[in-house]
A and B are shown apart, each in its own frame.
Chain A
Amino acid sequence: GAGVSQSPSNKVTEKGKDVELRCDPISGHTALYWYRQSLGQGLEFLIYFQGNSAPDKSGLPSDRFSAERTGGSVSTLTIQRTQQEDSAVYLCASSLGLAGEQFFGPGTRLTVL
């Protein structure tokens, strides 16, 4: 596609439920990143995938957060047993290789009631 796409654009869930957020990177981009943007905060790095290498999970805030990237393309960020503090915009980005410019998707706005 022309750019990074994310779905859903908005997600409202109840506390304790699991959610899955999807990211489709730009075709051919080998690197994929997940960020969290909370109100009044900058972007918080969550996780990074590069090709077939082991992902850098150092930014995941708790073991309730996980992500996978299938076939080196689409990625899913899963949040288990959601909490109200998980409410944020989750942004995905992709880049062509390690040092390439990151292109961002429109984000998924997650609201945990």
Chain B
Amino acid sequence: AQSVTQPDIHITVSEGASLELRCNYSYGATPYLFWYVQSPGQGLQLLLKYFSGDTLVQGIKGFEAEFKRSQSSFNLRKPSVHWSDAAEYFCAVRPYSGGYQKVTFGTGTKLQVIP
């Protein structure tokens, strides 16, 4: 069974600073990988996804993520954080096979942005 680990429960960064949120997955092959963001009182919004091809994926709101097979990682990055990025971020994985497969979510990383 696949699993996702987000080792950082809470991260605080200054506005304008760079950001990296860590995600490690466990699965026997290359899965589909996702990053979602959840603002308070809101549902989850997809930031970006990796299916295949270029290992550096660009998403919305200036985010990017890099898939590193050797490290089983899919870390999320942003070069300059804005106060509006304060939210909770979830990494997710789904097996790379046909038909329906369950998406497994990490426990999330809460981002606080200080002025």
A residues in contact (CB < 8 Å) with B: 4, 31, 35, 40-43, 45, 48, 50, 56, 59, 91, 93, 98-99, 101-107
> Known: A40-B107, A101-B49. Contact between A45 and B44, CB under 8 A?
no
B residues in contact (CB < 8 Å) with A: 4, 9, 36, 41-46, 49, 90, 92, 98-100, 102-108
Q: Which residues of B contact A50 (CB under 8 A)?
A: 100
**Which residue of B42, B98, B103 has the most chain A CB atoms within 10 A of its CB atom?**
B103
Shortest CB-to-CB span from A84 to chain B, Å, is: 21
Across the interface, B42 reaches (CB within 8 A) one of A48, A102, A106, namely A106
Do residues A42 and B107 form an inter-chain contact, with CB atoms below 8 A? yes
Do residues A4 and B43 form an inter-chain contact, with CB atoms below 8 A? yes
Shortest CB-to-CB span from B115 to chain A, Å, is: 27
Do residues B100 and A42 form an inter-chain contact, with CB atoms below 8 A? no
CA distance A105 to B41 in the complex (A): 10
Q: Given contact pairs A40-B107, A99-B98, enumerate 9 new A-B contacts (beta carbons under 8 Å).
A: A42-B107, A42-B108, A43-B44, A43-B90, A98-B100, A102-B103, A104-B36, A104-B44, A104-B45
Q: Which residues of A contact B102 (CB under 8 A)?
A: 45, 48, 56, 59
Query: What are 14 A-B pairs at a CB distance below 8 A?
Result: A31-B100, A40-B9, A42-B106, A43-B90, A45-B104, A48-B100, A56-B100, A56-B102, A93-B43, A98-B99, A101-B46, A103-B46, A104-B36, A106-B41
Shortest CB-to-CB span from A87 to chain B, Å, is: 16
Do residues A42 and B90 form an inter-chain contact, with CB atoms below 8 A? yes
CA distance A94 to B92 in the complex (A): 16
Across the interface, B43 reaches (CB within 8 A) one of A48, A56, A59, A106, namely A106
Q: Which residues of B contact A42 (CB under 8 A)?
A: 4, 90, 105-108
Q: Which residues of A contact B9 (CB under 8 A)?
A: 40
